[in-house]
Amino acid sequence: MQNVQLGLIDYAILAIYVIFVIGIGFALKRYMKSSSDFLTSGRSIPAWVTGLAFISANLGALELVGMAGSGAKYGIATCHFYWVGAIPAMIFLAVFMMPFYYGSKARSVPEYLKLRFDERTRCLNSISFAVMTLFASGISMNALAKLLNQLLGWNYDISLWICSAVVLVYVLKGGLTSAIYTEVLQFFMIVLGFAPVVYLGMKDVGGWDMLTKRLSQVAQHPAALGLTADSGKVFAPDAWSSAWKPLLAGPASNPMGVDWFAMVFGLGFVLSFGYWCTNFLVVQRAMAARNMSAARRTPLIAAVPKMIFPVLVILPGMIAAALAVTAKDGYHLPPKTLDSAMYAKAIPALKEAAEKNLTGTAAAQLISEAAGVKMLPDKIDALVKAAPTLKDKELKDGLQNAVAENNYDGVILSLVQRYCPSGLLGLALTGLLASFMSGMAGNVTAFNTVWTYDLYQAYIAPNKSDDHYMWMGRSVTVVGILLSIVCAYLVSHWSNAMDIIQLVFGFVNAPLFATFLLGMFWARTTGTGAFLGLLAGTGTSALFHALTSAVGNVPGIKGGYLSVVKVFPSDMAQNFWLASSAFTVCFVLTLVISLATQRTKTDEELKGLVYSLTPKLKDEEKAWYLRPAVLGVILLACCVVLNLIFW
């Protein structure tokens, strides 16, 4: 990917944004008078702010970069992560779960687990969540530093440290409140930055009708774009432009390689509800609202932009695939970039192939195994024949040109390069910068709250003054940023970092949702059942991953560490079934163990924590259009309409 040159106006837009977010932190510093103000915003923020922050905290590297890549790889089926895998769960959170979170006065999700079950369950969730947030934060910053390096040629290390420092300053000064208000700004910057790319892309490809026509060509020749490893694979013409028909036809008929049950149960129920209903990163935004009504409306307000966000984050990937199939103006999907370690192994293999007079597939296989990346046999064949006369620089260029695997994370960057002149480029880069920084800030603010309240205050230093916990909250914010940087360096060596964090979500959130579901709606659930069920569910995730793999993956890299008992059509299918298995095991074991053990909490102690024991909220005094149940039904109906339109 060639570097682009920023103009003065681009630098000005970036500078104004950075100064503005730091200014928000300094402006809010004077309101940070207690640990509650710093870590939980003192429950004082209006619903429209927490609603936009709720959605913005989720718009990190995984969404903007990953969803664009998935749009190219899987087509419009990626919208299921929104219309099946987000909206219903957000509505459920608002209508049923926020009354427990907010009404219990818990300061975090792990603290709710302590109130409902016991300290063991709280501790287990606190530790697993803390690790998950650090890696998620590190992945956001690694993606940002790589973006600045690949797109602008900026030094990776300098980019990583400077961007982390900016996040540190505004979070350290204004705490969660600063993070939430900057997330609102970041939401609008993301929309402003990406809307022109989508508009120009649709204009370039010729509108929706021409896009679907080009995508039908993609479906007929997916191997030509490196979208499948099977050179003879052909999908139905609407495989990239229809959300449900290819899915209902079975795993072999859609590029995602999943069936309707894995989609509806694995994604739509387990992963979706596990993430949106139990992940403190997003729940924390709703818990910062000024009252119960605002807290319940927060996920519903967020659901409105969430429903239409596929236009900004998935449609660009579909446009990229449509452009690549016709190679319009020389455009192609960005190939995976070979690094120095890969070259160090690939060049000797190339020279060995030349010495042994290997050609075509044999030569490509030898070099692919050495580099760890699939190669195009025809280009490798030509390169092997010319190898004796080429210098190392020419060999490197030839190897990079022969890479058969796509770098899906680079799809959105390639479109930014293609469509954004000076000015628009600054807006687009600021949108990307905003998304990655909001991802890091969101995870760090969740981490410092869980560490301070659920680990430090609970187990290390109880009964200290509020000033002490305020000091600890600020201190661990610095530590959280530094650990995120360490995680960024760790994941920078893994080409499948996005897959890893999605896998971690399956490990942590899928069994946790089973624990919450039973705990909130069945008073008989015991602390022992919850703790052992959660442990077993997480262990099931690890065992499932160790015994399964996906087509095209080498055992031991993305699963199959012990043995390969089952091979799934795609990584996505593997993750959906992993989450389903973890949830089921946790649910069943928690139920069985709870029946075999005694309750340690009375009905009186569980009031406000269990649905059947909690007085129902009265919404009659509010306008009908503000009632969460009514808003939820309207949003669900809109979601159904979108699914039918793109059926």
pLDDT of residue 496: 46
Query: Comparing C-alpha atoms, which of 245, 240, 248 is closest to residue 220?
Result: 240
Report in angstroms the alpha-carbon separations of 295 from 120, 143, 283, 302: 28, 32, 9, 11
Report in angstroms the alpha-carbon separations of 424 from 2, 73, 198, 272, 429: 18, 26, 12, 34, 9
Q: Looking at the domain assignment, is residue 557 inside a domain?
A: yes
Residues 479 and 375 occupy one common structural domain: no
Q: Is the dihedral of CA 376, 379, 384, 388 positive or negative?
A: negative
Domain boundary at 405, 426, 448, which? Answer: 405
Q: Looking at the domain assignment, is residue 335 inside a domain?
A: no
pLDDT of residue 503: 63
Residues 485 and 506 occupy one common structural domain: no
Report in angstroms the alpha-carbon separations of 501 from 303, 311, 507, 586: 23, 24, 10, 21
Domain count along the chain: 3
Q: What is the mean pLDDT of each run of 10 residues along the chain (647 residues)?
A: 72 84 79 73 78 79 76 86 88 85 77 86 87 82 78 81 83 76 80 86 87 84 68 77 83 79 81 82 81 86 89 88 80 76 78 76 77 77 77 78 76 82 80 77 83 86 85 88 86 57 70 87 88 90 82 67 78 80 91 90 82 70 72 88 87
Summarize the chain as % helix, strand, coil (round to 5): 75, 0, 25
Beta-bridge partners for 375: 403
The CATH number linked to 269 is 1.20.1730.10
Residues 524 and 458 occupy one common structural domain: no
Residues 227 and 354 occupy one common structural domain: no
Domain hosting residue 363, numbered range: 340-405
Helix 119-152 with 109-116: angle, nearest 10 deg: 160
d(CA 249, CA 236) in angstroms, rounded, equals 10
Residues 637 and 549 occupy one common structural domain: no
Eight-class DSSP state of 549 = E
Q: Looking at the domain assignment, is residue 210 inside a domain?
A: yes
pLDDT of residue 512: 86
Q: Looking at the domain assignment, is residue 334 inside a domain?
A: no
Report in angstroms the alpha-carbon separations of 39 from 46, 97, 473: 17, 21, 7
Count of other CB atoms within 10 angstroms of residue 496: 14
Residues 580 and 629 occupy one common structural domain: no
Coil/strand/helix, residue 87: helix
Query: Comparing C-alpha atoms, which of 169, 176, 175 is closest to residue 21?
Result: 169
Q: What is the DSSP string of 351-387?
A: HHHHHTT--HHHHHHHHHHHHTS-B-HHHHHHHHHHG
Q: Which two structure tokens, joined as six digits, stand for 411?
A: 């799809």
Residues 176/404, Cβ–Cβ less than 8 Å: no
Residues 311 and 379 occupy one common structural domain: no
Residues 81 and 184 occupy one common structural domain: yes
Count of other CB atoms within 10 angstroms of residue 640: 12
Domain boundary at 405, 424, 443, which? Answer: 405
Residues 272 and 182 occupy one common structural domain: yes
Residues 47/301, Cβ–Cβ less than 8 Å: yes
**Tokens 């519903």 map to which residue?**
300
Q: Looking at the domain assignment, is residue 359 inside a domain?
A: yes
Query: Comparing C-alpha atoms, which of 154, 244, 271 is closest to residue 576?
Result: 271
pLDDT of residue 552: 66
Domain boundary at 405, 425, 449, which? Answer: 405
Residues 158 and 254 occupy one common structural domain: yes
pLDDT of residue 622: 64
Residues 208 and 349 occupy one common structural domain: no
Query: Comparing C-alpha atoms, which of 166, 190, 189 is closest to residue 178?
Result: 166
Residues 237 and 322 occupy one common structural domain: yes
Q: Looking at the domain assignment, is residue 190 inside a domain?
A: yes
